[in-house]
């Protein structure tokens, strides 16, 4: 049985006001060719299909057109999709009666019986080639079995699902959208950090060693977790921020027979992200580096550019000078980061973009410690605050 693992497409994302529709379409065309070329049996999509819980009609059209075409071209293909934290679980599940006719299973909502019991069997999907998939969407507070905290609740969910599989001689795989302990997050990356918070870290021990492969989504950097080669993030197919410009994009091909073979297939993202300069420099030096960029017309695959300028005094014409220097250059200006030098003992001023990279939970914990003499914020208060943050972000 061959599985292809992907996640975190974020269809509908705008990159500093630039539409990425063409980039997503190119990725999905490439993905269709990989599925056919490698004779894939099961496609696993581990959440964050869309960038917003209320995707545009155009974004939905891109997604469902892909599903229609890939299943028509590969009639034996089975597709399993879970909702991520950016998705609307109910919206993603709504077309299920139609999608199931195409051998596509979507899991987003944790359903319960009249007495409030979780319908665990709904999350166990039989695989056409034999075996089972434990299909757990992004879990919010209260979506999991009773537990002291989020991490234990998620662990209890996977353990209960694994226990309910009767025939453990057949391959068991798992899919989830979460942050696993020991995973790496891109530095200063708001796209990954916004909803995370330390309380949501899930131990890789949540996935039984008898599970053949665990396909994870949520973090945009492709990686295995805590040294377990069969517990992996596929990473996002496109860099979602400048913090991710050095990430390697692609998907993961898994072949399960007597042994398990795991191979990464790289996707060359069609639009590159570049910084000028690598570290902030005075404006005159920045303008010189811009002058060295290649001339040309701005096209669909022209790189996105971040400009970092060291500011020691007010410079009202900063943006104008940079935009003038970029005329006739084949790059798209996405962001100007004006950085002021920091002196010991001074309160550092930060830009709006820098402020957005701060995790709200980290900020709250830090303020609590300062206000209450170094005392740590109680877990119960952190859980309440985390649920508020999540609700606002939804």
Residue 235 has pLDDT above 90, yes or no: yes
Per-residue confidence at 13, pLDDT binned at 50, 70, 90?
very high
Instruction: List the structure tokens of 220.
Output: 């945009």
Question: Residue 165's pLDDT is what?
Answer: 95
SS3 call for 219: coil
Report the alpha-carbon distance of residue 71 to residue 104 in Å, rounded. Answer: 9
Report the alpha-carbon distance of residue 342 to residue 230 in Å, rounded. Answer: 44
Are 16 and 334 within 8 A, CB to CB?
yes
pLDDT digits (tens, 9 = 90+) for 118-155: 999 999 999 999 999 999 999 988 898 988 888 889 99
Phi, psi of 141 (to 5 degrees): -55, 130
Within 13 A of 3's CA, how many CA atoms are on the CB side?
Answer: 34
Question: Residue 204's pLDDT is what?
Answer: 85
pLDDT digits (tens, 9 = 90+) for 330-367: 999 999 988 877 655 554 555 555 566 677 888 888 88
| Pairing of β 2-6 and β 273-281 | unpaired
Q: Sheet of 332-339: strands edge to edge? A: 273-281, 304-310, 332-339
pLDDT digits (tens, 9 = 90+) for 236-246: 999 999 989 88
Using the Cα atoms of residue 371, residue 377, residue 378 and residue 383 in order, give the sign of their dihedral: positive
DSSP 8-state code for residue 138: P
Residue of higher predicted confidence among 21 and 390: 21
Report the alpha-carbon distance of residue 271 to residue 258 in Å, rounded. Answer: 40
DSSP 8-state code for residue 225: E
Question: Residue 237's pLDDT is what?
Answer: 96
- Look at domain 2-266 and name its CATH class: alpha beta
Q: Can you tell me which residue has the tokens 């404006």? A: 283
pLDDT digits (tens, 9 = 90+) for 296-328: 999 989 999 999 999 877 788 999 999 999 999
Q: Mean pLDDT, to the nearest integer, of 10-26?
A: 95
Size of the chain in residues: 394
Mapping DSSP onto H, E and C, the string for 19-71 reads ECHHHHHHHHHHHHHHHHHCCCCEEEEECCCECCCCCCHHHHHHHHHHHHHHH
Report the alpha-carbon distance of residue 252 to residue 3 in Å, rounded. Answer: 8
CA 301 to chain centroid: 23
Average predicted confidence (pLDDT) for the chain: 89
Residue of higher predicted confidence among 393 and 170: 170
Question: Residue 33's pLDDT is what?
Answer: 97
């Amino acid at each position: 049985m061959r599985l292809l693992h992907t996640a975190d497409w974020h269809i509908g994302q705008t990159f500093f006001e630039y539409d990425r529709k063409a980039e997503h379409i190119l990725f999905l065309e490439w993905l269709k060719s990989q599925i056919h070329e490698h004779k894939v049996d099961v496609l696993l999509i581990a959440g964050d299909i869309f960038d917003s819980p209320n995707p545009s009609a155009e974004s939905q059209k891109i997604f469902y057109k892909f599903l229609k075409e890939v299943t028509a071209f590969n009639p034996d293909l089975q597709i399993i999709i879970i909702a991520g934290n950016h998705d609307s679980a109910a919206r993603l599940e709504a077309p299920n009666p139609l999608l199931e006719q195409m051998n596509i299973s979507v899991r987003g909502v944790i359903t319960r019986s009249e007495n409030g019991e979780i319908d665990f069997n709904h999350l166990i999907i039989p695989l056409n080639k034999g075996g089972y998939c434990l299909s757990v969407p992004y879990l919010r507070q209260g979506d999991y079995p009773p537990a002291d905290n989020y991490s234990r609740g998620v662990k209890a969910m996977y353990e209960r699902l694994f226990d309910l599989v009767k025939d453990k001689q057949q391959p068991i795989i798992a899919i989830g959208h979460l942050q696993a302990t020991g995973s790496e997050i891109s530095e200063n990356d708001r796209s990954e950090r916004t909803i995370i918070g330390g309380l949501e870290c899930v131990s890789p021990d949540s996935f039984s060693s008898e599970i053949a492969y665990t396909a994870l989504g949520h973090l945009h950097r492709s990686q295995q977790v805590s040294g377990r080669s069969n517990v992996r993030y596929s990473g996002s197919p496109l860099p979602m921020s400048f913090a991710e410009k050095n990430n390697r994009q692609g998907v993961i091909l898994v072949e399960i027979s007597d042994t398990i073979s795991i191979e990464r297939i790289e996707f060359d993202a069609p639009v590159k992200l570049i910084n000028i300069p690598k570290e902030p420099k005075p404006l005159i030096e920045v303008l010189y580096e811009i002058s060295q960029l290649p001339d040309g017309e701005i096209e669909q695959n022209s790189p996105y550019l971040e400009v970092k300028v060291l500011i020691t005094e007010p410079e009202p014409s900063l943006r104008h000078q940079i935009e003038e220097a970029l005329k006739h250059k084949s790059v798209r200006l996405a962001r100007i980061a004006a950085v002021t030098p920091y002196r010991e003992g001074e309160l550092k001023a930060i830009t709006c973009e820098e402020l957005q990279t701060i995790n709200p939970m980290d900020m709250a914990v830090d303020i609590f410690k300062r206000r209450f003499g170094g005392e740590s914020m109680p877990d119960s208060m952190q859980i309440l605050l985390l649920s508020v943050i999540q609700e606002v972000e939804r």
